[in-house]
Structure 1
Amino acid sequence: MRTSIICQECSRINNNWAVFYLDTFRDDGVYFGCCPKGHDNAIATQTLRHEMLFEIGVNAIKDTYYREAISSFAASVERYYEFAIRVICRHSKLADDVLQRSWKSVSRQSERQTGAYIFLYAATFREVAPTLSETMTSLRNDVIHKGILPDKAQAVEFGEASYQVIQNGVQKLRAECLDDVNAELVAQMRKTIEKYGDKFPRSTQVTQTALNIIQDISGGYGPFRQVLSARGIPLP
């Protein structure tokens, strides 16, 4: 999948109106290289891992790769769980070295991560954490572990369920722990920027995605099907 990257020099020449070019999504969020006009760029995006994976899932639906859509949405939910765990631990003033050593014990086991998220969320907010239903979890397992090939309706249903889990969770995190959400975002961005090394010129950007942690959704958020419609994806 490809994403839009801003070229600072092209934008400067264009009277400071942003000029973008396409590049392939990178795992580390740092884009080195030249725009089509040959200008060197080093761009770091503020897109979080779960946001990137969710966007890949949406585009997989558009491209009719429904199995890949479900696997990307499932991975997005898991990485949202990780982000929430880090925010809640930061909110409780847990020392970073304790968090890192503890995370190492569960980093390769998604079920343990889900359990950690569920109980940290419950202990902190005194309510049940938003998670995928048993039906959606079963669909995810069938697709990923049994090789079931889902249809478009199933991919949209799973995407919608994943969207609601993440957005409902983010609403709560922003309402109760906004300073910690922002601190975790800054910490993750700092790690990304470290990968610049001595590369110049450099800049950062916010990529337009269906999920965006910095967006205020305290008053609600648009439905998932609206996300699909905005991308020109026909509904099943």
Structure 2
Amino acid sequence: MKLELPCSECLYPGGKPNKQKPPMTEGWGLIPNVPLGNDCIYTVEGPCGHTSMVKIHNFKFEMLFESGIRAMHDGYYREAITSFYVALERFYEFSLGVLAMPKLWDEKEEELDEKSLRDFAKGLDILKSSEKRVGAFHGMYYAVNGVFTKAFPESQISVRNKAIHQGEIKTHAETLAFGTGVHDYIKVLLREYKENFPLGIHRMKYVEEGLAWIKLGGQLKGKMNSLPSTLIYTFINSNDGRYFESSETIEHYMQNPTMGRAVRQETI
């Protein structure tokens, strides 16, 4: 999956908005064909000759699900099912962080120090196996809400297992049904988190960005907060309130030429 990211040096020369040209129109200020990476901070070099850093404001599970849509769009159905399910597994991790956040991060504290951030990530990383991760998610959900949430259907897990472990190639219709099932499951819970745990969602983005910045050798209280941030146009988009009201289908979305493009550039 390739992204189209903005060049912050073109859009914000010297840290100030460029008033001479309209931002991100007709390809100006955009760097095409940037490979999807593991972290949310990218160092990019554009045809303009600039080298700049930019944060992607989307969550990892959103980008992985988008990768599944791209694979399905291009006819790679087995790879699409893999990406859809991996997106769900990353969503379980995200959910654990959101639900546990009040216990792990004092509401009065604006930021975590590097040790606390690493310990937080280590706690999530312990859950390596899929079964442990799912079990921890359901246990945490019950501990926080006092009720169990619906499990992802076993019939859908069987589709994933046959595609990944047995190499079974699914049809377009089967892949679309699987992706839709994963999306619908995520959307119900994501809407619930947005309503009940908005601070947890905000802080999980800080965790993703902080860990990526530390990996690059940066200091949490240094340049990270001033890095330009961009929002990628994705099917699942927790940053866009319109997503929760939309009834758009994956099939319809695949006809949209703006898939994977930067739709907002800002300095935070």
Q: What TM-score, normalized to structure 1?
A: 0.86
Whole-Å Cα distance in 1 between the matches of residues 72 and 243 of structure 2?
Answer: 28
Whole-Å Cα distance in 2 between the matches of residues 144 and 7 of structure 1?
Answer: 37
Give the aligned partner of residue 170 of structure 2.
150
Matched residues, percent identical?
22
RMSD: 2.9
Shift of 1:180: 1.4
Q: 1:206 aligns with which of 208, 231, 245?
A: 231
Give the aligned partner of residue 23 of structure 2.
17
Equivalent position SS for 1:32: strand
Give the aligned partner of residue 179 of structure 1.
199
Q: 1:134 aligns with which of 154, 161, 169?
A: 154
Gaps of 5+ in 1: none
Aligned residues between the structures = 232
Give the aligned partner of residue 88 of structure 2.
77
| Equivalent position amino acid for 2:76 in 1 | Y
Whole-Å Cα distance in 1 between the matches of residues 19 and 105 of structure 2?
Answer: 47
Cα deviation 1:174-200 (Å, max 9, x = unaligned): 111111111221222233334274999
Whole-Å Cα distance in 2 between the matches of residues 191 and 24 of structure 1?
Answer: 20
Shift of 1:147: 1.1
Map of 1:88-127 to 2, 5 A cutoff? 88-93=99-104, 100=121, 102-106=123-127, 108-127=128-147
Shift of 1:105: 3.4
Cα deviation 1:179-223 (Å, max 9, x = unaligned): 111122122223333427499995221111111222226963324
Gaps of 5+ in 2: 12-17, 107-115, 260-268
Shift of 1:125: 2.4
Of 204-213 and 92-101, deviating more is 92-101
Shift of 1:230: 3.2
Equivalent position SS for 2:206: helix
Cα deviation 1:11-31 (Å, max 9, x = unaligned): 337524123121111112222
Q: 2:208 aligns with which of 188, 194, 203?
A: 188
Q: Does 1:160 align with 2:180?
A: yes
Question: Residues 13 and 26 (structure 1 numbering): CA distance in 2 closer, same or farther, change over 3 Å?
Answer: farther
Of 119-128 and 37-46, deviating more is 119-128
Give the aligned partner of residue 61 of structure 1.
72
